[in-house]
Chains A and B, each alone.
Chain A
Amino acid sequence: DQQVKQNSPSLSVQEGRISILNCDYTNSMFDYFLWYKKYPAEGPTFLISISSIKDKNEDGRFTVFLNKSAKHLSLHIVPSQPGDSAVYFCAAGSADSWGKLQFGAGTQVVVTP
């Protein structure tokens, strides 16, 4: 049963504009959420995370928003750059089983010049 879902398999955005990636989850026991970025033939690299006690976390061009009542989080990238073109994975975990993450299927982002 897929506990973390990314319903948009792909997203195309113009350079300089905002990229918004969405993620939904079903397990209310998740304590933290992470976004990973993956280039072809490489492993996922950590982007940004958010604890369940917060509703927003910002790091440079990346901001993650968490809506616990809706079991929804989103990643905003602004402004988008061509180097942001990659697959983005949403992941979630709980503190009592740290490191055991549930991943979404990923969203392929393409940033066009």
Chain B
Amino acid sequence: GAVVSQHPSWVICKSGTSVKIECRSLDFQATTMFWYRQFPKQSLMLMATSNEGSKATYEQGVEKDKFLINHASLTLSTLTVTSAHPEDSSFYICSARSGFPSGANVLTFGAGSRLTVL
């Protein structure tokens, strides 16, 4: 089946540094990927829609200059948390549409990346 890989799965950084998280579709091409964020015991919140070859679309309240998204190829989207602060510590998950006919309305999720900002 469709597989989405995220890297790194766990990252710890100092406040003020930038962190890049990669989301790769391993066996399919994804023109659109989605980035979610999850705080402990809360639901996944959609941050932005990543579109291959064009600018990402951000949800209301998400700072686009803070969370830089680049979708340079059909198999890779990256999320860069710039000048990270402790409040950015969270679990970030990406998803991609697999494109399989039977799963037309199904998204494949990555395993997530846990960011801890000290």
Residue tally, chain A, CB below 8 Å to B: 25
> Could you say which residues of chain A place their CB within 8 Å of the CB of B41?
9, 105
A91 CA / B45 CA spacing, docked (Å): 11
Nearest to B6 among chain A residues (CB) is A43
Give the complex CA separation of A6 and B45 in angstroms.
14
- Categorize the interface residue count of chain B: 20 to 34
Contact residues in B for A42 (Cβ distance below 8 Å): 111-112
B95, A99: Cβ atoms under 8 Å? yes
Residues of A within 8 A of B43 (CB): 2, 4, 89, 102-106
Which chain B residues (68-118) contact chain A, with CB distance < 8 Å?
93, 95, 97, 103, 105-112
Given the complex, which residues of A lie within 8 Å of B32, measured CB to CB? 99
Q: Mark A61-79, 1 if CB is under 8 A from B, else 0.
A: 0000000000000000000
| CB of B21 within 8 Å of the partner chain | no
* A106 CA to B109 CA, complexed, in Å: 16
Are A100 and B109 neighbours in the complex by a CB distance under 8 Å? no
Q: Output the nearest chain A residue to B108 by Cβ-Cβ distance.
A: A46
- Assuming A43-B4, A43-B93, A105-B41, is B103 touching A100 (CB within 8 A)? no
* Known contacts A2-B43, A102-B46: A43-B110 contact under CB 8 Å: yes
Q: Which of B4, B93, B105 contacts A49 (CB 8 A)?
A: B105
| Contact digits for A41-71, partner B, Cβ 8 Å, 1 yes 0 no | 1111110010000000000000000000000
The chain A residue with its CB closest to the CB of B41 is: A105
Docked-complex contact A98 and B105, CB < 8 angstroms: yes
Q: How far is the CB of B31 from chain A (nearest CB, A)?
A: 11
Q: How far is the CA of A41 from the CA of B113 in the complex (A)?
A: 9
Q: Is A21 an interface residue (CB 8 A)?
A: no
- Say which residue of A32, A45, A102, A105 sits within 8 Å of B42 (CB atoms): A105
Q: Which residue among A4, A9, A100 has the maximum number of chain B CB atoms within 10 Å of its CB?
A: A100
Taking a contact as CB atoms under 8 Å apart, the answer to whether B44 and A100 are in contact is: no
Q: Which 9 A-B pairs have the closest CB atoms?
A: A43-B109, A103-B43, A103-B44, A105-B43, A43-B111, A44-B109, A46-B106, A43-B110, A42-B111
Q: Which residues of A contact B (CB under 8 A)?
A: 2, 4, 9, 32, 34, 36, 41-46, 49, 89, 91, 93, 98-106
